[in-house]
Amino acid sequence: MLVVGAGPTGLALAAFLTAEGASVRLVDRLPDRVHESRALAIQPRTLELLAGLGVTAELVARGNRGVRVVMHFPRRTVAANLFELGLDDTAYPYLLFLSQAVTEEVLGAHLATRGVPVERRVELVDLRQDADGVTCELAGPDGASSRCRARFVVGCDGQRSSVRQLAGIRFGGSAYPQTFVLADVEADGIAPGSAHAFVTPQGLLFFFPLGRPTTWRMLAMRRPDETGLLDEAPTLADVQILCDTYAGGDVWLHSPAWTTRFRIHHRRAEHYRAGRVFVAGDAAHVHSPAGAQGMNTGIQDAANLAWKLAAASRGSASGVLLDSYEGERAPVGREVLRFTDRAFRIATSTSAPLRFARGRVAPILVPLALRLAVARSRGVRLVTELDIRYRDSALSVDAPEAPRHGPRAGDRVPDARVTVDGRPTSLHHVLGSPGFHLLLLGPRGAWTDETVMARASRSGVAVHRLSDDARAGVVHDVDGTARRLFGADGGVVHVLVRPDGYIAHRGGANLAGAEAWLTEHVMPLD
């Protein structure tokens, strides 16, 4: 399998594929990984997915947990802990601020320990598909061309993706007219440990707690009268003048590590698949950084695609399985573009009504909205991507006897505290190893179909019994929380969990539906 592009999406895809036992070659045209911060926030859902690779603990240790935002209006300041509601079912109830450079470093080191190096200065220049695979022409560091064969090719090579262009996939959209300034700097005049937003009629100024290489990441729209060229990095004086425009001279900048001007695009691929060629991350969708969705959406593309490609590489995947990548992820990409476009236009519009709303209405309405627990909870779960679901997917099946309550087929599996052999752990940790998991919920003695369970185990499906029973090897739901989450309080439920942590099939005491799902889509049971 050939993965083109070694940014966060490509690195994550290669890591997920390797965990599933697939053979991977990872190439990138750049001579080195990025050393600037660029993307700087990792959402809870992404941390959950990366935990299965064993890298999340290091990311968290090196990052800055953000739960508090301070909003500075012209005449008042409002502070709120945005992540205190709606995150009871995850082990990561915060936004992790971490430089993209560190994220790439950690993922790259993980791949190196598994014998998957990043081949640098290697560029894909041509590809041709046939019934059995893809013939790729690569240009190496010395300019010499070479050919390789791959069963599948995935373009994780950004918004100018050569894979997407060679596959003939249209990339519609445009660039916003505004120009923005990013700066990794030190700043005096704002309290550490929080994200800060200065909301003015002119627009918004953000400071995010970066930690490394500097304490702060600053983001703001460039003033219309600024004359610097887009490809010229702004000076500290330029950035300070911009900061003063929004913060009124109350914040003083110094010691910049990196500054840049850039334009924001909003584009998406017409298709995510062309035969044996796929696109993911910025090669499939680019949008404004509103809500810190970009890198996270790409890594989640990778998690969705990896196990499907791994099954296909073993020759055990149905056609529906590979088609489901676009069917499941393209709607997510469209929704992210819609959400970020709306947020971007509200934040940057120079129209009189929106300038008035930012300057006069927002200082009144925002504090009121922050007091509404239900609205805050829904907003947080939207931004953190915990509520992404694939209920309409051809892969999502609820049996007639499935419980009326709890997550449905296509939903993310919620996390809960449990114990195994007397040791405290979490449900996500139990289900975190690669591959499929069959979760059997119910009282002691509820599951007697040992034949099907043994066949599932022989086929590589991990089988877990979850109940109020503390016997050895049983996932002990001490207080009943996990069973209530699944709508199985007092009943018998089975849940077939996909490798990316979403529910494939859900039913009651009869496991025939789960067996049929596995046989049809990924593996014949012995």
Alpha carbon distance 70, 74 (integer Å): 13
pLDDT tens per residue, range 457-516: 667 899 999 988 888 888 999 888 999 999 887 789 999 999 999 999 999 988 889 989
Give backbone dihedrals phi and psi of 455, rounded to 5 degrees, phi first: -65, -40
Is position 225 within any domain?
A: no
Tell me if residue 473 falls in helix, strand or coil.
Answer: coil
pLDDT tens per residue, range 52-97: 999 999 999 999 887 688 888 887 888 877 666 568 899 998 889 8
In this predicted structure, what is the pLDDT of residue 525? 53
Is position 79 within any domain?
A: no
Contact 274, 295 (CB under 8 A): no
Provide the β-strand partners of residue 438. Answer: 463, 496
Do both 337 and 406 map to the same domain? no
For residue 139, the Cα-to-chain-centroid distance in whole angstroms is: 31
Average per-residue pLDDT in the chain? Answer: 86
pLDDT tens per residue, range 190-210: 998 888 989 887 778 899 888
Do both 291 and 409 map to the same domain? no
Give the count of alpha carbons within 13 A of 246, CB side only: 27
- Considering only residues 355 and 489, tell me which one the structure prediction assigns the higher pLDDT: 489
CATH number, position 409: 3.40.30.10
Angle at 143 between CA 137 and CA 147, to 5 degrees: 20
Angle at 203 between CA 238 and CA 364, to 5 degrees: 140
Angle at 49 between CA 45 and CA 55, to 5 degrees: 115
Domain that holds residue 483: 397-521
Is position 87 within any domain?
A: no
Is position 85 within any domain?
A: no
Do both 403 and 490 map to the same domain? yes
Structural domain count, the chain = 2
Is position 417 within any domain?
A: yes
Do both 319 and 463 map to the same domain? no
Percent above pLDDT 90 for the chain: 53
Question: First and final CA of the chain: distance in angstroms?
Answer: 27
Tokens 């992790």 found at: 96
- Cβ-based burial of 512 (10 A; exposed 0-12, middle 13-18, buried ≥19): exposed
Do both 338 and 422 map to the same domain? no
Is position 71 within any domain?
A: no
Do both 409 and 505 map to the same domain? yes
25: amino acid identity, one letter: R
Tokens 């819609």 found at: 338
Alpha helices in 315-449 (DSSP H): 319-348, 352-356, 362-370, 373-383, 427-430
Do both 295 and 402 map to the same domain? no
Domain boundary among 289, 315, 347: 347
Do both 46 and 115 map to the same domain? yes
Alpha carbon distance 180, 214 (integer Å): 19
Is position 429 within any domain?
A: yes
Do both 412 and 341 map to the same domain? no
Do both 404 and 342 map to the same domain? no
Contact 19, 307 (CB under 8 A): no
Do both 430 and 499 map to the same domain? yes
Do both 140 and 275 map to the same domain? yes
Structural Rg of the chain based on CA atoms: 24
Domain boundary among 347, 380, 409: 347
Give the count of alpha carbons within 13 A of 242, CB side only: 30
Is position 480 within any domain?
A: yes
CATH number, position 19: 3.50.50.60
Domain boundary among 330, 347, 364: 347
